[in-house]
Amino acid sequence: MANYIDLETLKYLLNEVHNLDEVLKQDRFADHDAESLDLFLDSVKEFSDRELFPYFKEMDEKPAYHDEGTVMVHEQVDVMMKKGGEMGLIAGPFDYDDGGMQLPLMIQTASTYIQETANNHLPGYTGLTYGAAELIVHFANKELNEAYVPKMLSGEWGGTMCLTEPQAGSSLSDVVTKATPTDDGYYKITGQKIFISGGDHQYAENIVHLVLARIEGAPAGTKGISLFIVPKNRPTEDGLIFNDVTTVADFQKMGQRGYCTTHLGFGDADDCRGWLVGEPHQGLKYMFLMMNGARIAVGRGAAAISMAAYQASLQYAKERPQGRKLTSSGKKNLDEGQTLIINHPDVRRMLLLQKVIAEGSLSLVLLASKYYDLKYTASDPAEKEKYGLLLELVIPMVKTYPSEKGAEAVSNGLQVLGGYGFCTDFILQQYYRDIRIFPIYEGTTGIQSQDLLGRKLLMENGKALELLTTEVMQTIKEASKFDDLRSYANILGEKLQLAQKVIGFLVGFAKKGDYERFLSDATPFMEFFSNITIGWLWLDMATHAKNALVIGNNAHSQDFYESKIHAMKFYFKYEIPKTTSLAEILTNEEVLTIAGEKEILN
Amino acid sequence: MANYIDLETLKYLLNEVHNLDEVLKQDRFADHDAESLDLFLDSVKEFSDRELFPYFKEMDEKPAYHDEGTVMVHEQVDVMMKKGGEMGLIAGPFDYDDGGMQLPLMIQTASTYIQETANNHLPGYTGLTYGAAELIVHFANKELNEAYVPKMLSGEWGGTMCLTEPQAGSSLSDVVTKATPTDDGYYKITGQKIFISGGDHQYAENIVHLVLARIEGAPAGTKGISLFIVPKNRPTEDGLIFNDVTTVADFQKMGQRGYCTTHLGFGDADDCRGWLVGEPHQGLKYMFLMMNGARIAVGRGAAAISMAAYQASLQYAKERPQGRKLTSSGKKNLDEGQTLIINHPDVRRMLLLQKVIAEGSLSLVLLASKYYDLKYTASDPAEKEKYGLLLELVIPMVKTYPSEKGAEAVSNGLQVLGGYGFCTDFILQQYYRDIRIFPIYEGTTGIQSQDLLGRKLLMENGKALELLTTEVMQTIKEASKFDDLRSYANILGEKLQLAQKVIGFLVGFAKKGDYERFLSDATPFMEFFSNITIGWLWLDMATHAKNALVIGNNAHSQDFYESKIHAMKFYFKYEIPKTTSLAEILTNEEVLTIAGEKEILN
């Protein structure tokens, strides 16, 4: 079997860098210890080897399709849901009371990450079911909980999130799906939803849609949106009855072709019933409380694809002989045999670039999961607030960095294979296609960037930023203890100051009331700020590695630890300097992207 | 019909910026004038509207495939070859004596570019036939010319270039296809070639392969490679006889699926005849003399795709309402209707980024074509040398910039459409897949970058670089005459100095005999140097526009000229600053990508 994951690095990040033990000290996780969780992750890897990776290519080649009102998906979807349910891959983080295992999100993230490196199509089905069940558990009444959650956590029923509508796209203010109250405690739902991942398939006895809709007479905009449970088939005393949710189409896509994306119609025959979750008009608030998890999940999926692509191109580079190393004269010595391409500096550069992006992304995703765990389990309110703020601040980066830079990483992986990378006989082209949706999923890069700059940095007078800065300073301090890391620590310190300067410049526009200008370069700002954030995480990774070498920790080999320090240096040579230019761009006074009176864009 | 090209910009670049008239003054082009060539380009656009664009999507959906020894392609391939032949799209630049029209390469480039914006699959078939015929005309004897060229220029027979072999990839030193001399004037050919574009199809009566092979006993390496004409069917007095060239397979690819990529076997039945072109062991030299044209062609194709993708996303952005403009408070005003997405600064940024890449690439491709024309037609030897050197220097950038940055541009185009960009109902995803081969074609980015830094910059003691610098200085001088362009001219001047500094630093390693280190960052150097080169071309474009506005030239509207100045400013705000970081990377002393004793890349 091909390598698709560096499990050792995942465990290093979990245990040594992000200190899972600290999370396990919380009462909620009292029954778990690092050792048993390690075995759990091994079993997930084994499951992925057996049930996920072997079907990955096939699911692309035989994509999901719409046939007479049903979406037909690969039969392995059934295995994923049922066996995944059995193994607790859906229920893992839920309370014992709800049928869960009270796993930390860090572990759920690591588990799903492993699955996604093997096959990024299948875990979408279980993942969305998990998310939909989470919404019900948190906000719906007991009756609804009992009716839906157990069947979802067992994988018998699927779940979805229905936000997007054809006329509104990312603009949720413009949602028009209608909910009309009845006297029988339910609402009649009518409307259309598009881009619904996992929205229908032939193996699900039922699919439970969590639908944003507007109760008649509700206020305009996002303040008038409510959340409903709208099952495909409604449970009654006589069993399941079709609930007038029709599958209009399955979008055919460039990638993730085994993960269906449906267009759903609600109430075409005026018989679609929905049950309100929580209070009226609070739907978007509920959805967004769950959105942090969804956005971590997107970043995690992209991080997984870049890891898998890196492993595939690394393996190729270690096996493929081609060309010769340059001699000092610049000529090639033809008497030598061909060298492996991993020995060409340009190939090595492309591999290291992938490595720093893939592992940097994973570190960020695990960090966010840790903040999530500590936010939800901390007993000290100050701690709770601290991790809540840190989580909010990193979320838009977690969604964006692995997606945007992951696409770049995968492209470099494809390039390592030359012409073969472009051919369907090799897997790189599939990763290249699959990962391209991630900068669009769950709020595009543009939207995440506005969230980062326009909301998160200003939140509570910049308190989240202060907290993050303190964390970074701590790493700088730790790294500075080692002679050979000090210069990198110094660079990171300078970049922190540069970030302050850039933020000060941009916030100036907000203070002057010029919000459009303030946010017009939010996307380059995202690139700038996440570059520094990943620089921090790499310095942290290298510092832990250095420490392990110094104290003689033999959890991993010396080469392993040295490779982390080497990769950090690569990041600081080839990636960190980009912030110089980005700062130059962001503090440039010229305004060129705000529409004027006259349209001169042609 | 959807917009797929900005024809006005193409003509502006040809006539006003790159001054086609100067080229037309050469004796060879005496029969042509700008007006008639303009009409010719209009007829190519009309042909593209009718015969190319309507089949573009279909060719992707029904890709070429291998069936019982033949590659089956879309029937429009037949139309392209035959009608293209009739219209002179293959023969255009050839001598009148050879059946050509003595068109400047600038016009052939513009003509093929138009076709490729409409459909980047079809013109590959005619384009390679053109290239193969060119090799025969330049280097083969009269008999071979008469036997092959007329049928190729008419489009009845196809042509290919056969370089790559399975065990050698980009390393042509390792070519092993064998040519055994016979007493009858031909050679027996045996071997395998892969990745042969247009290598076989059901509509070609014959396909003429130009094959690199090694005559028995030839020296090792590239100095022992000869060039052969190896037709699929050999012409005899009794007509065409099968020449033992078998089609082993058709590579299935992620993109350009309508443009077949074959695996060919020569001499499986020991009856494959090849005819030597020119002298023995000179094959690679011949091939590389033609390679400049091939590399311009790759850059042109990529430039065409980024143009088409830009047009498609621009059209979408002008028609799609979504969301609202921000008010000064940062809130949205829900009483307003939705705005068109082109009015969102982030969308506008993505569109402008595409514009500067697409048009900058086109300008570079036309510039190279102009240098080519002037090199081949200049009567003054000093002029000939000058344009020859300038051509050599820009070639690796012409191949690379449109390919690498074009892929980035298309990705931004896809992003403009959000989720729809990822769906096969929209064309952006096809452009995204198609363009990805361009950084691999005809020498990967890594190879082009080593060519630029390792050969072209050092050529004749840096004379090419001096000549290019003089050209750039001239533009800086012209731009500085205008108050509102002067600051950009100054920036470009500073970047020229920065380039000198970076080159000095890198060449230092070559002087010390450390070639591996010298070239290890060739790819970031390529990005650095072509960024400045495109900055020069944008300043040139803006200077011509400014001049037109000042003198009241009304060949184009005021808005048109202003849009060029605006795009230049965008390039100087968002792209040029990247050279600051790239210089930082390139002059960093740390060595991280050269393989050491111990392998720590995992």
Half-sphere exposure of B415 (CA within 13 A, CB side): 28
pLDDT in tens, A243-252: 999 999 999 9
Half-sphere exposure of A438 (CA within 13 A, CB side): 35
Tokens 């293959």, located at residue:
B90
Contacts of B260 (CB under 8 A, 6+ apart): B64, B71, B73, B197, B198, B199, B200, B201, B250
Contacts of B26 (CB under 8 A, 6+ apart): B373, B374, B377, B378
Cβ B602–A433 below 8 Å, yes or no? no
Closest residue in B to A261 (Cα) is B423
pLDDT above 90 covers a percentage of chain A that reads: 92
> Cβ atoms within 10 A of the Cβ of B96, count?
11
Least confident residue range of A172-176, A501-505, B156-160: A172-176
Q: Could you name the CATH architecture of B291-324+336-586?
A: Up-down Bundle (1.20)
Cβ B514–A328 below 8 Å, yes or no? yes
Residue A58's Cα: distance from chain center in Å?
Answer: 24
pLDDT in tens, B382-413: 999 999 999 999 999 999 999 999 999 999 99
Q: Are B127 and B155 in contact (CB under 8 A)?
A: no
Q: How many CB pairs under 8 A join A and B?
A: 290
pLDDT band at A328 (very low <50, low <70, confident <90, very high): low
pLDDT in tens, B412-428: 999 999 999 999 999 99
pLDDT in tens, A374-403: 999 999 999 999 999 999 999 999 999 999
| B346: amino acid identity, one letter | D
Q: What is the mean pLDDT of residues B527-553?
A: 98
pLDDT in tens, A183-210: 999 999 999 999 999 999 999 999 999 9
Cβ B322–A255 below 8 Å, yes or no? no
The three-state secondary structure class of B367 is helix
Strands B178-181 and B206-215, bridge-based pairing:
parallel
Helices and strands (H and E) in chain A: how many? 19, 12
According to CATH, where is 2.40.110.20 located in chain B?
31-289
List for chain B the helix, strand, coil content (%; round to 5): 60, 10, 30
pLDDT band at A83 (very low <50, low <70, confident <90, very high): very high
Q: Identify which of A67, A179, A40, A195 has the alpha carbon closest to the alpha carbon of residue A128.
A: A195
Cβ B419–A588 below 8 Å, yes or no? no
The pair of three-digit structure tokens given for residue B219, joined into one six-digit string:
């020296």
The answer, yes or no, to whether residue A327 has pLDDT greater than 80, is: no
pLDDT band at A325 (very low <50, low <70, confident <90, very high): confident
ipTM above 0.95, yes or no: yes
Half-sphere exposure of B518 (CA within 13 A, CB side): 26
Closest residue in A to B596 (Cα) is A343
The pair of three-digit structure tokens given for residue B571, joined into one six-digit string:
């390039």
Cβ A330–B518 below 8 Å, yes or no? yes
> Cβ atoms within 10 A of the Cβ of B30, count?
10
Would you state the pLDDT for residue B424? 97
Nearest to B433 among A254, A355, A559 (CB): A254
According to CATH, where is 1.20.140.10 located in chain A?
291-324+336-586
Nearest to A422 among B170, B415, B440 (CB): B440
Q: Identify which of A397, A217, A390 has the alpha carbon closest to the alpha carbon of residue A295.
A: A397
Cβ A425–B574 below 8 Å, yes or no? no
Would you state the pLDDT for residue A457? 95
Distance from C-alpha of A136 to C-alpha of B577, rounded to nearest angstrom: 49
Q: How far is CA B462 from CA B389, B397, B457, B467, B472, in A?
A: 10, 17, 5, 9, 16
| A236: amino acid identity, one letter | T
pLDDT band at B566 (very low <50, low <70, confident <90, very high): very high
Contacts of A433 (CB under 8 A, 6+ apart): A60, A254, A255, A256, B254, B433
The secondary element (H helix, E strand) that includes residue B105 is helix B105-118
**Cα angle: B393, vertex B397, B402; to 5 degrees:** 155
Distance from C-alpha of B200 to C-alpha of B266, rounded to nearest angstrom: 13
Conformation bin of residue B303: beta by default, left when phi > 0, alpha when psi is -120 to 50: alpha
pTM above 0.90, yes or no: yes
> Phi/psi of residue B414, each to 5°?
-60, -40
CATH code 2.40.110.20 for B31-289: yes
Closest residue in A to B455 (Cα) is A330
Q: Which residues from chain A sit within 8 angstroms of residue B433, using beta carbons?
A: 254, 433
pLDDT in tens, A536-577: 999 999 999 999 999 999 999 999 999 999 999 999 999 999
pLDDT above 70 covers a percentage of chain A that reads: 99
Best A417, A435, A593, A594 residue to mutate vs chain B (most B CBs within 10 Å) = A593
Q: Which residues from chain B sit within 8 angstroms of residue A251, using beta carbons?
A: 419, 423, 425
DSSP state of B458: T
The three-state secondary structure class of B271 is coil
**Cα angle: A256, vertex A317, B190; to 5 degrees:** 100
Least confident residue range of A324-328, A350-354, A580-584: A324-328
Q: Are A562 and A350 in contact (CB under 8 A)?
A: no
Q: Are B312 and B430 in contact (CB under 8 A)?
A: no
pLDDT in tens, B206-258: 999 999 999 999 998 889 999 999 999 999 999 999 999 999 999 999 999 99
Best B428, B581, B582 residue to mutate vs chain A (most A CBs within 10 Å) = B581
Packing angle, helices A283-319 and A428-435, rounded to 10: 160
Strands B239-242 and B233-236, bridge-based pairing:
antiparallel
pLDDT above 90 covers a percentage of chain B that reads: 93
pLDDT in tens, A462-486: 999 999 999 999 999 999 999 999 9
Distance from C-alpha of B553 to C-alpha of B494, rounded to nearest angstrom: 31
